[in-house]
Structure formats: structure tokens, C-alpha cells
Amino acid sequence: MNNFNSSLWKITGPIEKKPGKQLLEFISRKILDGGLTEDDKLPSQREFATLNNLNVNTVKRVYNQLNAHGWIQAKPGRGTFVSYEAEEVLRKKENKRFTQQLPIPLTGAHATVSATPVVAQDFLSIGLDLLGPSFTPFQQMSRYLRGHQNKYSRGTQYQQIRDFEALDFKESIRKYLKETRAFRLDPGYLELIFTREQALKRLLDLLLGPGAVVVNTLGQDRQLKQIFNEMEVDEHVLQITAADFITQLETLLQHTVIRLLVIRPQCSYPEGNHLDVPNSERLLALAKEYRFYILEEDPYHEFWYDQEPFRPLCNYDHEGHLIYMGVLSHLSIYMLNTYVICASKAFIDLLNGSVRQDYAFRSLIEERAVAEMLDSGEMWSLVKDVRYKKQKEKEDLEYILKSVLTEHIVIQPSSSGLSLWIIFADSLDLEQVMHMLQGDQIPVPYDPAQERPKIQVHKMRLSFGTFNRDEALDAAKILAKILKTSGHN
């Protein structure tokens, strides 16, 4: 078993006094819901016992039970593996995630176009939610890069053309998603598109036509809004932060035929809110009942700070109504711009039959290096280390803000992403306060990709892709003084 898989077999939460039943349910659930298939390897009995601080005899007894019921099989000299019988159970269970065929034909939309609502940006965006350059694993990547650069010095044009097909790269990503995120994906259900803009345009070009009705939960996302305007779609903006989000959607569906809902269920924009399990299930049930697609964007899957990671919508039974679009990784700019698309095979086939993407976006040597890092398990190890560091920085930033600005702000709970959502007093003009902050020789790191709001705002999206404690502490102290002097308590 690869070392990087061991943490996937650690039981979260307390171990019961009689752990046998708990362990039996944990392993069988891991096989059923974790995307494991025939010949996937389990930890040895001793590894499992050590990892979970259990008696090895307890683990042995549970393994024997699973073996007797045909779930696992011990292979002398090789280890313990998921059995053929368990794979058959999965097939009979008829997992309804990514499907062969499209549940709804993509034949264009016929809805009446209405004016697209204009949502004024009602927050100030400070900092970047991009991982700071210091986190890029240059040293680890350089080993792989040098090796593949030497190989390409002897390469042929045929090899180069074949590598542009990215078959090996996609297969490494598919296996990585299976191992680390429980994605059950057969080959052919995954495609890569480079840059977010190209990914959105190519996906939406297939999903929508002029006049199509779209529900957008990212109403203040400028790039998405621009694409919708260019496509002349009829856009309805809803907020998943609203307590009655699902009720609002259901009310809309009763009198409006929609084609698509766009959502970031793990980290809504800009607030960074979560869609919980019951509402995720209700949303997918509505998609099936009212026959619309969901485009799930998942940019921050590496940065979760709860005990367990968020479960993406694509890991529920969606019967092909879900198109998943997530970044490969934040660890390098190239991986950040590599968008992984997971969908029904029919949709992926349509995507491959559309306009081919420009080779100018590609870096074959880096792709080969990343594939090797994925296969070796080193990528997973790096991601865990970076997530731990960012969690500590997030906690440090929250501590500074709460201790220095206690009277002036409310920080919304955030368990994922690289930003905090901060609310000041309603009467505050944040732009004016930032101008005063700069007057005190504190430079304000405005996000250059965001427009400055054209209205008075009192909400801030504070990103910590790069975190400097002294910078945060100095700015917080001066800001507290400005707010106290101006009477905003």
C-alpha cells in the first residue's frame, strides 16, 4: 500500500469500547462509498492496528469476518485486497453518479430572454486567495522536471503529439482523485481544460444557448457574469448563504424551466459558505425532478479545516445531472490553471468533439513531472503539509483580528478556502477607512483582479494566500485606532 493512502484508513472520532462493529462498518463503508474496486489494497492488519491504536487481534477478527463474507481477499506474499465479490456488490448497488448517457438532451434552450440583473459588488476584496509563492514545491518538482527534460532531449515529434493527448496525465489524475477524494470515475469520464475562462466558456457553450435560463449562485463573480452576458442567457441570482436557498430555488422552478445551476457548494463566492449534506441532497433531487444540470465549481478542495473534508456534489448520486469543474492543485500556477472536468461519458465525448484547445497553454514536461508526483504519492504528502500550514496561518489571522478588532467586526465561520468574510458596522464606508489606513503609511493590498465597489460597503473578503503576521498585526492596530477615533464601535 502506498504510504500516502494510510491517512485514508484512520478512523475519525472516538473509538468505541467494543470497536469490532465500528471497525467492520468503517471498512465496509470505505469499500462502498470510497470508490474502492477489485484488487485495491488495504493496510496490513498490523498497519491498521497501529494507525488507529487498536489491538491487532481486533483487526484480525474483523478482517476474517470480511474475508468470510467475500468482501476482501488475502493474497499470500502480497497483502489484503478488495475482492471480486465486493466489486459485484458495488455494481448491483447501481451507483448513479457519473453515467454513460446524458439525462437531459443538449438541444439548445427556448426560454424567453429577460433583462439580466446587475448585481453591484457589495464588498471590498483585500489580498489574494492564491497560494503564496513560498508554498510552491520547487525543490521537489525540480527532480522530476530535470528527468523529463532529459528524456525530451531525445524525443520525437510523434511522442510530443501523443503527449499532447495527455492520456497518461489524465489517468494519473483519475487515480489520484479516486485515492484521495473517493471519486468513482472510469476512464473517459474526465477531461482537462486549461484556465478557468476557457473551462467556463467551453462547458457553458455546450450547456446553454441564447435565452437559456440559468440560476447563478455566484452573482458577484465578474468573469462568470461577463460570459453570461455575452451568451445572452436569462440569469436568476440566488445566494446559497440564504437560509431558505433551496426553498427559493424550488419556488422558482415551479414556474420557470431552467437549464443550469452554477454553484460552489464548498466555498461560495464571496462569503465562503458551505452547503450542508441535507441541502446538497435536496438540490440534487430537484435537478432530477425538474431536469436541469448543475455545474459544480470546486477551487479550494485542498484547503479544508474541519475534521473531515467536504463531500463534493459529484460524490452523491446525481444520475449524470452534475458536471464537476475543479482545479488540479494550488501548489503551482500550472496546476492551478489545469481544470479537471468530470461528467457523464456522453458529455465528455461532446466536449472532445467541440473546438480543440490551443497547445500554447500546455507544458508537457511539467505535466509529466506532476503525473509522476501524483503516482508516487508525493503530491498528497505536499498537499497535507501545505493545508496544515495554511490552517495555522488562518487561526493566527483570526486571533489577531478578534483580539485587536473585537468591538468592530464579525468574522463569519469559515472551514475551507483561503479567505475570511468580515462584516463591519452597517454605517461604515470601508473605502474611506482604507484611504485613511494608507494615510498612516499602511499599504492596502487590494486584489488587482477585482473591481473596487461603486457603492458604500461594510463587508470585506480578506484573503490569506500569503500571510505575514507583522503586516496583519500592524494593519489591525491602526485600523482599530481609526475606527475608535471615527466613532465606529
pLDDT tens across 349-384, in order? 999 886 666 677 788 889 999 999 999 999 999 999
Q: What is the pLDDT of residue 309?
A: 87
- What confidence tens digit (pLDDT) does each residue in 303-329 have? 999 888 889 999 999 999 999 999 999
Q: Is the pLDDT of residue 469 over 60?
A: yes
CA distance 277 to 312: 10
* Least confident segment among 11-20, 131-140, 177-186, 411-420: 11-20
pLDDT digits (tens, 9 = 90+) for 385-438: 999 999 999 999 999 999 999 989 999 988 899 999 999 999 999 999 999 998
257-270 per-position pLDDT tens digit: 999 999 999 888 89
- Three-state SS for 85-140 is HHHHHHHHHCCCCCCCCCCCCCCCCCCCCCCCCCCCCCCEEECCCCCCHHHCCHHH
Residue 111 has pLDDT above 60, yes or no: no
Note the pLDDT of residue 34. Answer: 63
Ramachandran angles phi, psi of 339, nearest 5°: -95, 125
Q: With beta carbons less than 8 A apart as the criterion, state whether 36 and 83 touch.
A: no
pLDDT bin (cut points 50, 70, 90) of residue 300 is very high
Residue with cell 437531459: 104
- Kindly report the pTM of this predicted structure: 0.82
Residue 107 has pLDDT above 60, yes or no: no
pLDDT in tens, 42-75: 888 998 888 888 899 999 999 988 888 888 888 8
CB 10 within 8 A of CB 30: no
CATH number corresponding to 138-380: 3.40.640.10
Residues of the chain with CATH 1.10.10.10: 3-93
Cell numbers for 254: 415551479
Domain 3-93 coded CATH 3.40.640.10: no
Tell me which of 173-182, 236-245, 372-381, 448-457 is least confident.
Answer: 448-457
- The phi, psi pair for 362, rounded to 5°, reads -95, 150
> What does DSSP say about strands 293-298 and 260-263: parallel, antiparallel, or unpaired?
parallel
**CATH 3.90.1150.10 in the chain, residues?**
384-485
Any long-range contacts for 252-258 (C-beta under 8 Å, 24+ apart)? 252/215, 253/286, 253/290, 256/111, 256/213, 257/111, 257/213, 257/290, 258/213, 258/214, 258/215, 258/290, 258/292
Please say if the pLDDT value at position 109 is more than 50: no
CATH 3.40.640.10 segments of the chain = 138-380
Residue 282: how many CB atoms within 10 A of its CB?
Answer: 17
Lowest mean pLDDT among 74-88, 271-285, 286-300: 74-88
For the record, the C-alpha cell of 325 comes out as 469543474
Give per-residue pLDDT as tens, 210-229: 889 999 999 899 899 999 99
Cell numbers for 181: 477524494
Mean of the per-residue pLDDT values for the chain? 87
In sign, the C-alpha dihedral spanning 59, 305, 218, 222 is: negative
pLDDT exceeds cutoff 60 at 118 = no
Residue in the structure block whose three cell numbers are 457553458: 204
Does residue 296 contact residue 324 with C-beta atoms inside 8 Å? yes
Residue 41 pairs in a beta bridge with 81
CATH fit for domain 384-485, picks 2.60.120.1440, 3.10.180.10, 3.40.50.720, 3.90.1150.10: 3.90.1150.10
Residue 18 has pLDDT above 70, yes or no: yes
Q: In this predicted structure, what is the pLDDT of residue 4?
A: 40
Question: What is the amino acid identity at position 308?
Answer: E
Q: For residue 444, what is its C-alpha cell? A: 492596502
Note the pLDDT of residue 119.
Answer: 63
* 139: Cα within 13 Å, side-chain hemisphere: 3
pLDDT at 390: 96
pLDDT at 38 over 80: no
Q: Percent of the chain beyond pLDDT 90?
A: 53
CB 284 within 8 A of CB 294: yes
- Report residue 27 CA to chain centroid gap: 25
% of the chain residues with pLDDT over 70? 91
